[in-house]
Structure 1
Amino acid sequence: MIEFFVQPFIDFEFMRRALAGCLALALGATPVGVFLLLRRMSLMGDAMSHAILPGAALGYLAFGLSLGAMTVGGIVAGLVVVLAAGVVTRASVLKEDASIATFYLLSLAAGVMIVSLRGNNLDLLHVLFGSVLGLDDHSLLLIAAIASLTVPALAVLLRPLTLECFDPAFLRGVSRLSPVAHYGFLILVVFNLVAGFHALGTLMAVGIMILPAAAARIWTRSLGALLACAVGIAFASAVAGLLLSFHADVPAGPAIVLMCGLAYLVSLLLAPGGLLAGRLPVRKHLES
């Protein structure tokens, strides 16, 4: 049993690299996903994960599978979409989610078209679904650096972010930090989506953000416990997904996201706030 769970990480360096990358994503991206969930922006996170595709694709078109070029391109594209959606929201009758959805659809189509112009199907799959088992030193350092930036940034923005999640109008009325918290948080979302892009691809990056956060939300209402629980679920799901990929010979990225989804379904059924909470028999103790 120990060999089944431990031996792959002992024997193979690519498994250890994948494990380290997933740990960094769990520490950085998943807490961002918690705030996306609390702000009712989960689908917006999915849209923004596609928004980075054309920038990463342009970096790929110019320099091939270059980590630096694709990272810079993805960050720039994500920030452009976020800022453009904000401008459209303030200058038109469209809501923010509609604006981002519009730009994300255009970005997704443009990104796929750009990759298809030069690359082959294998390159397109790499961009869309990532290659967590192929992480090199530079990719690991990038993911770890973004996680190292995200954790203290969230600690600094914790109070205004928490207020904005539950009463944004109150925050705007009592503090000048509302735009700082709002746009600072969106920048963190873009950076962590770029980190997830290198490991899980644009289609899967948001999975390790949102699914563990949704699973943890069913178990607890305390923000601190919610963050800790979400990180634990994300890392445990990543370990389970890597083992499933290794032993069953299936793609690692989808396996990790499926394990996150399984954790959500189990939580949905068994957690105190889950579907079966009121239907399980309660054992009554005898009173003396």
Structure 2
Amino acid sequence: MTYHVIDAFIQFGFMRRSLVACLALSLSLTPLGVFLLLRRMSLIGDALSHAVLPGVAIGYLCAGMSLLAMGLGGFVAGLLVAMSSSWISNATRLHEDSTFAGLYLGSLALGVTLVSLRSSGVDLLHLLFGSLLAVDNQSLLFIGVIATITILVLAFFYRAIVFESFNAAFFQARSKRFPTLVHAMFMALVVMNLVAGFQILGTLMTVGLMMLPAITARCWTNHLPSTMAIAAITGMVSSFIGLTWSWYQSVPAGPAIVLTATICFLLSIAFGKEKGIFPIYRKQQH
């Protein structure tokens, strides 16, 4: 039975590459999702996933199916939207989610328009919405580099990111420039990982692997390191089960992984030790 489950990964190289890519993304995406959750910015990841579309499309129009060009274009577009949103909210006193909404909707419309400029844009759509066959050695190296950079930066600036996530106002009062740099660096990491995930999951599905394991973990513990560990494990398990489901049931890989993560999320909402419905109900009964 076990051999039958892993048979596809043993026989086919592209399945192994897809699994390794998803495992690497699980290690880098889920901690970012935990910090977004702590900052009450859960939907910002979704907005940024739409914001990278015009940059990816411009990279495709300029250089064809070049991973470097599309990745660089997506990173610049996403970072531009993130920084513009922060600047506009500070200048106008609008809440940041309001400015994000306006900018990402415009970016999404622009991206769809640019995609339609070439009749062969269907190939790009496979990348934007995920394709199990799209992960080659170059893509795997690209994802590995982004995941490694993310983990190292999070480890080096862990205390600053935690401080800025829990008490941004006090951090800002203590230092004028450093909190802004920490916030910009963190948003850059989010954009980088969304761009890294568009090959295997698509830009619209990558945010699912970022946020669902983080919310799942939050249902089980209030301890930050434990939350990050549970989130990473949930992401990796969801990736393995989702890819296996995708292969044997012929469903798209990205949605299969995100649906698996959604099932973990729903089970945690029901039975999670800290935030689950049934444990809270039992405590209230006692």
Shared fold, TM over 0.5: yes
Greater mean deviation of Cα atoms: 126-135 or 141-150 = 126-135
Greater mean deviation of Cα atoms: 83-92 or 180-189 = 83-92
Partner of 1:276: 278
**What letter corresponds to residue 251 of structure 1 in structure 2?**
P
Give the Å deviation of 1:280.
6.1
Alignment of 1:65-76 (within 5 A): 65-76=65-76
What TM-score do the two structures reach when normalised by structure 1? 0.93
Does the residue aligned with 2:279 lie in a helix, a strand or coil? Answer: coil
Change (3 A) 1:121 1:73: closer
Q: For the Cα contact (< 8 Å) 1:211–1:260, is it kept in 2?
A: yes
- Report whether the alignment pairs 1:214 with 2:215: yes
Q: Unaligned regions of 5+ residues in structure 1, if any?
A: 282-288
Give the Å deviation of 1:80.
1.1
**What letter corresponds to residue 61 of structure 2 in structure 1?**
L
Alignment of 1:90-239 (within 5 A): 90-120=90-120, 122-175=122-175, 177-239=178-240
What TM-score do the two structures reach when normalised by structure 2? 0.94
How many angstroms apart in 2 are the aligned matches of 1:115 and 1:125? 8
Alignment of 1:246-285 (within 5 A): 246-272=247-273, 273-279=275-281
How many angstroms apart in 1 are the aligned matches of 2:209 and 2:5? 21
**What letter corresponds to residue 162 of structure 2 in structure 1?**
T
Give the Å deviation of 1:21.
0.3
How many angstroms apart in 1 are the aligned matches of 2:227 and 2:205? 22
How many angstroms apart in 2 are the aligned matches of 1:280 and 1:11? 48
Partner of 1:286: none
Could you report, residue by residue, the CA deviation over 1:86-134 in whole angstroms, capped at 9, with x for unpaired residues? 2211221321111111110001010011011104463253143122432
Greater mean deviation of Cα atoms: 250-259 or 270-279 = 270-279
- Report whether the alignment pairs 1:54 with 2:54: yes
Q: Provide the aligned length of Structure 1 versus Structure 2.
A: 281
Q: For the Cα contact (< 8 Å) 1:26–1:208, is it kept in 2?
A: yes
Q: For the Cα contact (< 8 Å) 2:130–2:253, is it kept in 1?
A: no
How many angstroms apart in 1 are the aligned matches of 2:143 and 2:246? 21
Does the residue aligned with 1:198 lie in a helix, a strand or coil? Answer: coil
Q: For the Cα contact (< 8 Å) 2:82–2:187, is it kept in 1?
A: yes
Partner of 1:245: 246
Give the Å deviation of 1:164.
1.7
Give the Å deviation of 1:278.
4.0
Greater mean deviation of Cα atoms: 48-57 or 171-180 = 171-180
**What letter corresponds to residue 84 of structure 2 in structure 1?**
A
How many angstroms apart in 2 are the aligned matches of 1:278 and 1:83? 40
Change (3 A) 1:230 1:114: same
**What letter corresponds to residue 276 of structure 1 in structure 2?**
F
Could you report, residue by residue, the CA deviation over 1:159-218 in whole angstroms, capped at 9, with x for unpaired residues? 121122221111122345311211110111110111111221121111110000000010
Does the residue aligned with 2:204 lie in a helix, a strand or coil? Answer: coil
Change (3 A) 1:269 1:4: farther
Q: Percent identity?
A: 49
Partner of 1:285: none
**What letter corresponds to residue 224 of structure 2 in structure 1?**
L
Greater mean deviation of Cα atoms: 90-99 or 167-176 = 167-176
RMSD: 1.5
How many angstroms apart in 2 are the aligned matches of 1:132 and 1:174? 47
Q: For the Cα contact (< 8 Å) 1:116–1:124, is it kept in 2?
A: no
Q: For the Cα contact (< 8 Å) 1:133–1:252, is it kept in 2?
A: no
How many angstroms apart in 2 are the aligned matches of 1:10 and 1:84? 46
The runs of 4+ residues in structure 1 deviating greater than 2 Å are: 119-125, 173-177, 278-281
How many angstroms apart in 2 are the aligned matches of 1:163 and 1:71? 30
Q: For the Cα contact (< 8 Å) 1:29–1:209, is it kept in 2?
A: yes
How many angstroms apart in 2 are the aligned matches of 1:198 and 1:7? 23
